Amino acid sequence: MTADFDRLRQADLPEVRAAIRAGRYTGHTAGLGRGYLQANLVILPEAQALDFMRFCQRNPKPCPLVGVSDTGDPMMHTLGRDLDIRSDVPAYNIYRHGRLDGTTTDIADLWTDDMVAFALGCSFTFEHALMQAGIPLWHVGNDTTVPMFRTSIPCVPAGPFAAHMVVSMRALPEGRVDEAVALSRRYPLAHGAPVHAGDPAAIGIADIARPDWGDPAPLPGGHVPVFWACGVTPQVAIEAAAPPLCITHRPGHMLIADIPEAAEVPVLAPQAA
């Protein structure tokens, strides 16, 4: 796996996608397809699709919608010229009635003609912008998963979808916080500006050393914990809604689109007929 990953990091997007599609690569996607938009994935039956789409519209910071398939069509036409949602994500989680029921690397046998696939923007986009500005991100430098926490911030519900917001935390040097806020605000499709900076208790986090997901990260002196809305939030909403079947990406194993990550609009122009 490691050898594959090191080689794929140098590869262009078509080669990366071919390796994922063929099942030759089933690992995480951080650092792959550099410069291209990566996205969280949620697949639901059409019966839940309108409510889920309303949940995303009402909670755009945790759930920034970047693509939606036609019902029953596994090709994500607005995100790629040849992007098959059944095979082009390295690994998938399968939820039945809101509970994780397994992991797989291809969902061709699960896809049915009433399904709708949703792609949601992820934090990689604004993290790249922060790093390019020279703002250090501890979890990247130390190859761990960013710490994520349940909060007391209520999302706006839609039908059966309801959640308290999940956030990710990055400890930033005090003097760089304003800059990080301004920079990430430029990426509304990648969670936008932080939802909070400072006292974790103010948003219902009891112990900053014990994340609910991901790995703990230090909070050194002179640093401020900065909290961004997190793409794990829809997973919590899906647990609450408990649809008969829901398929997501496996965390960290993202959909990589043909769209440059800094694109103003995450939509391929229609091809001439």
Indicate left, alpha or beta for 230 from its phi (over 0: left) and psi (-120 to 50: alpha): beta
- The nearest distance, CB 115 to its own copies, in angstroms, is 13
Using a 10 angstrom Cβ sphere, with 0-12 exposed, 13-18 middle and 19 or more buried, the burial of residue 73 is middle
Give the shortest CB-7-to-its own copies separation in angstroms. 35
Percentages helix, strand, coil for the chain (3-state, rounded to 5) are 25, 25, 45
Among 31, 10, 8, smallest CA distance to 20 is for: 8
Among 232, 231, 238, 255, residue whose Cα is nearest residue 74: 255
| 236 binds its own copies per the rule CB under 8 A | no
Residue 158 touches its own copies, criterion: CB under 8 A: yes
Based on the shown chain and the rule CB under 8 A, indicate whether residue 99 belongs to the binding site for its own copies: no
Binding its own copies by CB under 8 A: which of 15, 54, 73, 216? 54
Per CB under 8 A, contacts with its own copies among 103-122 are: 116
Half-sphere exposure of 82 (CA within 13 A, CB side): 6
Question: Binding to its own copies by residue 75, rule CB under 8 A?
Answer: no
Nearer Cβ to its own copies (97/186): 186
Residue of 17, 76, 93, 45 whose CA lies nearest to 252? 93
> How far, CA to CA in Å, does 36 sit from each of 13, 80, 107, 154, 256?
8, 11, 23, 31, 7
Smallest gap from Cβ 143 to its own copies, in A, equals: 32
DSSP 82: T
Task: Determine the Cα–Cα distance for residues 79 and 66; give it in Å rounded to an integer.
Answer: 8
Q: In sequence order, which residues have a C-beta less than 8 Å from that of residue 214 and are 6 or more positions away?
A: 139, 144, 145, 146, 147, 148, 168
Dihedral pair phi/psi, residue 183, rounded to 5°:
-65, -50
- Nearest CB to its own copies, comparing residues 192 and 234: 192
Q: Which among 15-23, 94-102, 149-157, 255-263 is the span making contact with its own copies, rule CB under 8 A?
A: 149-157
* 21 is a contact residue toward its own copies (CB under 8 A): no
Examine residue 59 and tell whether it contacts its own copies (CB under 8 A).
yes
63 binds its own copies (CB under 8 A): no
Q: Please pick, from the candidates 185, 201, 202, 262, the single residue that binds its own copies as defined by CB under 8 A.
A: 185
Nearest distance from C-beta of residue 28 to its own copies, angstroms: 27
Residue 193 interacting with its own copies (CB under 8 A): yes
Q: Residues 161, 145: contact at Cβ < 8 Å?
A: no
Identify which of residues 172 and 195 has a Cβ nearer to its own copies in the complex: 195
User: In terms of CB distance, is 32 or 56 closer to its own copies?
Assistant: 56
Is residue 57 at the binding interface for its own copies, with CB under 8 A as the rule?
yes
Binding site for its own copies (CB under 8 A): 46, 49-50, 53-54, 57-61, 65, 67-68, 70-71, 77-78, 116, 154-159, 185, 188, 192-193, 264-265, 267, 269-270
